Amino acid sequence: MPDRICRTGPAGRLAAAIAGESWPTPVILRAARLVVTLLFGLAGVLAVLETAQRAADIDDIATRVEPLSADTVTIYRALADADAAMINGFAGSVDDPAALRERVDDDLVVATDGLMRAAERAQDRPSADEIARLGRRLPAYAGLVELARASRGDPAAEETALRRASGLMQTELLPVAESLLQRQAQLAAAHRGTTTFPVALLVVVLVLSAALLALQVWLAHRFRRGLNLGMVIATGALVLGVLWWSVTTIVSGNHIAVAQDHGRMVRDGLVPAGIAALQARTAEGLDLMTPDGGRHEHEFDERMRRLGPDGTSGALGTAARLAGDPGARARVQAAITAAADYGAAHMGQRQAAQADAFARLDASLAIAVDAERAAFAEQTARAKAWSHGGRPVVLTLALLGIAAAAAGLTARLREYP
């Protein structure tokens, strides 16, 4: 073997620059083996940590952020539905008092359960404070509802209790619930939009790639042989690891993007549509109960504009634009048809028809929301599965790269006594 590195040609000069003419070859080989092992190990650890963080973020979205956002929607819908039902029941647009009582009781139970779940999931102080405030005031509303029931037979006392209950709902409970809903929708959107570029991993992979290339060039010129099998296998393991990590990250990201589309449809289209519909129904009941020269009728018209029964404007128009598959479009179209029927029933001033049309609208929106949330859960589950699937393969390839590089360099070391 030559004692000095051949410096003929660009490759030889590169090898000389890397190795240094005064360094003994065994020292270079041992140092190279250590450096490659550390770089491979660091790359593997960083890749595993990166995929673990992504999986944790997906899990947090699926098990806390989105459920909390759903809980706030449930709370608001339950409270608004209870208020609308009580008002319309008192106004005489509900024929079955027993069914009305059961509906209001169910709404209050749903709202209470939603508050308990939300209290466990909320992590920011403003949301926790609003949840606590709702929890403190909801029993007062329930008490006024019971007082109104107990006053049956005394119209004046019943109306007074009902007005107090509706006033509490309209001035305290619903504004706080709507603020909570909007805050959680914003937090959920922000959480889903946060992605970090793996700068450290990229730097380590680039350094490792350069080190492997430089070592193979040096080995070829120092020992005047062809490719080192161990180093070739190590390079292949690195390439496969990068490719597999990239594929799993891209596929997982695509599933998250689809899930975000479903979440956006609920957040920006279906939930505002449901809120507008409930507010329109409340205004309708207030107009029947307390004619006031058209103020409540104006509120009804404004809520219907926000709802968008024409399917091109308002919340339903937004939902129609965001619907990404035929099933979603069909469900939104069913809600649009129901909203148009509800508006027509209101114009006809037929209370029974109004109640039936609103029930169909409310049910169609609930079906659409449930379907979109199920699709969101399915896509996040797939994203999580792909994210978890990248870790064992990448870690195995990193270990293979360490073993192969060490074997290739050790084989050269054995040529020295």
Query: Model confidence over 357-404: pLDDT tens digits?
Result: 888 998 999 999 999 989 998 998 898 888 877 788 888 888 999 999
Does some domain include residue 386? yes
In contact, 327 and 335? CB cutoff 8 Å: no
User: For tokens 């190990």, what's the residue?
Assistant: 41
Q: How far apart are CA 311 and CA 330, in angstroms?
A: 12
Does some domain include residue 2? no
User: Does the pLDDT at position 295 exceed 60?
Assistant: yes
Number of compact structural domains in the chain = 1
pLDDT of residue 7: 46
Does some domain include residue 34? yes
Does some domain include residue 1? no
CA distances from 130 to 70, 79, 83, 96, 399 (A): 16, 14, 19, 34, 51
In contact, 175 and 116? CB cutoff 8 Å: no
User: Does the pLDDT at position 2 exceed 50?
Assistant: no
pLDDT of residue 4: 45
Number of C-beta neighbours around residue 409 at 10 A: 24
Does some domain include residue 170? yes
Q: Can you give the pTM of this predicted structure?
A: 0.74
Average pLDDT of the segment spanning 289-299: 70
Task: Give, for 341, the enclosing helix (H) or strand (E).
Answer: helix 326-348
Name the residue type at position 251: V
H-only helix segments in 194-325? 199-223, 229-265, 271-289, 295-307, 314-322
pLDDT of residue 96: 58
User: Does the pLDDT at position 253 exceed 60?
Assistant: yes
Q: Directed axis angle between helix 271-289 and helix 351-413, to 10°?
A: 160
pLDDT of residue 126: 87
Average pLDDT of the segment spanning 335-352: 84
pLDDT of residue 292: 60
Answer with the residue of higher pLDDT: 44 or 226.
44
Does some domain include residue 65? yes
pLDDT of residue 14: 45
Give the structural domain span for 36. Answer: 9-413
User: For tokens 């250590």, what's the residue?
Assistant: 34
How close are the terminal C-alpha atoms of the chain, in Å?
13
Does some domain include residue 355? yes
Does some domain include residue 3? no
